[in-house]
């Protein structure tokens, strides 16, 4: 009998799900309310997959056996409300993909640190000789990664959006790095709703599965009691870091990462790697060879004694807190973008201690001005990265740091945080 699936959203996750569904003999319709990018349309056409853009064919979608919702699609848009009202089964892309993966899944979420932790876990497995997929929110969709996969382990970064609409997603190892206010605009400005979305990562875990959580994070600790009693719980706390990162000779692992928060990310990755059978020496070797990931406290260049650091992936206030906390030199801070319900009050003390100038890179500077205008720090605003970078260079001195750590989404001036980071790096390198 023919199986029909409608996929809402025609970007990376949606197109990946479409390709995977087509491979497994589903009849597929990709439906996007907006425009689908040309590279994705070309891919769909080449694979004979039907798609529509600029609106949804409601009658066709209501007849589907299943709907796969891309993470970028809010659950409260009209088409999703209509589908739910009519009882059409709706599933997240990662849940759909997991049905076609027979191996073990390590899934990592959190408000901060999930990309770094995911990357470290994958690196530790690779350096220990284990083949693993790296996918999810980190770039390649889980569905796309499974098209030709032969690996038996998948390491996937998952956002709260990807954890909405789970029906059976069951990682062997789940990691929650922390939970702090983020994406509140998507969750009705309700922090508890956002936190509960993060904990859906353990929703279907059971006996033999492991949940690693941040024992120093109050919100995570408050929700641990809701986890299935059969799940093995492992807590990582900031007070444990020295012991966890200690080598057999008593010295600490030598990490090529900036900031204490990255020591914590490494500790969580160690716990995850241990669950896959890695020994201490393999873990140490992997940690010491791991390089900083792109757009996450990435040192781009040092020009005339001034360091330029790309932290474009810092899309919330808590990420900026960690970035500033790790700075030991005066900072010219480049901030701004699309606000997601930010409370800048939590970093005002750090800004006062560390920041010598604030440079807003955004077409919406109002909230940043309102937060810091009373602090006596010079604030400038630009809508052009070249001008912002040149201003930072001209107003910095030897020993300073120019830090792009935006605290906001990128969509006012850029396609995504990667695009923002690439443009920043390009302009910095031109200065050389």
**Residue 205 pLDDT:** 97
**Residue 1 pLDDT:** 63
Terminal C-alpha separation, the chain: 63
**Residue 191 pLDDT:** 87
Answer whether 20's CB lies under 8 Å from 94's CB: no
Strands 153-157 and 133-136: parallel
Structural domains for the chain: 3-88 (3.40.50.720), 96-289 (3.40.1190.10), 298-431 (3.90.190.20)
Q: Measure the CA–CA gap between 310 and 240, rounded to whole angstroms.
A: 29
Strands 66-69 and 104-109: unpaired
Coil, helix or strand at residue 352:
helix
Local confidence pLDDT in tens for the 432 residues of the chain: 679 999 999 999 999 999 999 999 999 999 999 999 999 999 999 999 999 999 999 999 999 999 999 998 988 899 999 999 999 999 999 999 999 999 999 999 998 889 999 999 999 999 999 999 999 988 899 999 999 988 999 999 999 899 999 999 999 999 999 998 777 777 778 888 889 989 999 999 999 999 999 999 999 999 999 999 999 999 999 887 878 888 777 777 877 777 778 889 999 999 999 999 999 889 988 988 888 778 888 889 999 999 999 999 899 898 899 899 889 999 999 999 998 888 999 999 999 999 999 999 999 999 999 999 999 999 999 999 999 999 999 999 999 999 999 999 888 899 899 999 999 999 999 998
Q: What is the largest CA-CA distance in the chain?
A: 70
Tokens of 190: 């309700």
**Residue 394 pLDDT:** 96
**Residue 170 pLDDT:** 97
As to burial, measured by CB atoms within 10 angstroms (0-12 exposed, 13-18 middle, 19+ buried), residue 188 is exposed
Tokens of 211: 């949940």
Q: How distant is the alpha carbon of residue 242 from its chain centre?
A: 26
Enumerate residues 6+ apart whose C-beta is below 8 A from 116: 257, 262, 265, 293, 296
């Amino acid at each position: 009998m023919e199986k029909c699936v409608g996929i809402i959203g025609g970007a990376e996750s949606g197109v990946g799900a479409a390709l995977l569904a087509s491979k497994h003999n589903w009849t597929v319709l990709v439906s996007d309310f907006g425009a689908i990018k040309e590279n994705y349309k070309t891919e769909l056409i080449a694979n004979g997959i039907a798609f529509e853009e600029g609106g949804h064919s409601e009658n066709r979608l209501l007849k589907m056996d299943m709907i796969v919702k891309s993470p970028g699609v809010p659950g409260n848009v009209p088409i999703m409300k209509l589908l739910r009202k009519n009882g059409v089964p709706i599933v997240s892309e990662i849940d759909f993909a997991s049905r076609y993966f027979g191996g073990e899944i390590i899934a990592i979420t959190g408000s901060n640190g999930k990309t770094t932790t995911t990357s470290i876990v994958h690196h530790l497995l690779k350096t220990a000789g284990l083949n693993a997929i790296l996918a999810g929110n980190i770039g390649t969709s889980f569905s796309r990664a499974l098209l030709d996969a032969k690996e038996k382990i998948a390491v996937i970064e998952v956002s709260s959006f990807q954890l909405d609409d789970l029906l059976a997603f069951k990682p062997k190892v789940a990691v929650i790095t922390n939970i702090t206010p983020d994406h509140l605009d998507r969750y009705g400005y309700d922090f508890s709703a956002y936190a509960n979305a993060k904990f859906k990562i353990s929703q279907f875990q059971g006996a033999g599965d492991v949940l690693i959580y941040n024992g120093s994070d109050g919100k995570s600790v408050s929700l641990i009691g809701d986890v299935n009693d059969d799940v093995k719980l492992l807590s990582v706390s900031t007070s444990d870091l020295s012991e966890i990162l200690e080598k057999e000779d008593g010295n600490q692992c030598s990490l090529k990462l900036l900031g204490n928060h990255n020591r914590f990310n490494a500790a969580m990755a160690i716990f995850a790697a241990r669950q896959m059978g890695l020994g201490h020496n393999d873990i140490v070797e992997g940690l010491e060879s791991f390089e900083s990931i792109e757009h996450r406290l990435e040192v781009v260049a040092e020009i005339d004694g001034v360091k330029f650091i790309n932290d474009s992936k810092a899309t919330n206030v808590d990420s900026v807190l960690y970035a500033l906390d790790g700075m030991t030199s005066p900072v010219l801070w480049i901030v701004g973008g699309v606000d997601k319900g930010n409370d800048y009050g939590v970093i005002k003390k750090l800004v006062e201690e560390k920041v010598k100038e604030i440079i807003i890179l955004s077409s919406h500077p109002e909230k940043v001005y309102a937060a810091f205008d009373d602090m006596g720090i010079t604030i400038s605003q630009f809508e052009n990265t070249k001008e912002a970078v040149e201003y930072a260079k001209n107003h910095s001195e030897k020993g300073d740091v120019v830090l792009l750590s935006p605290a906001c989404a990128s969509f006012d001036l850029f396609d995504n945080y990667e695009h923002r980071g690439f443009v920043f790096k390009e302009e910095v390198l031109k200065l050389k």
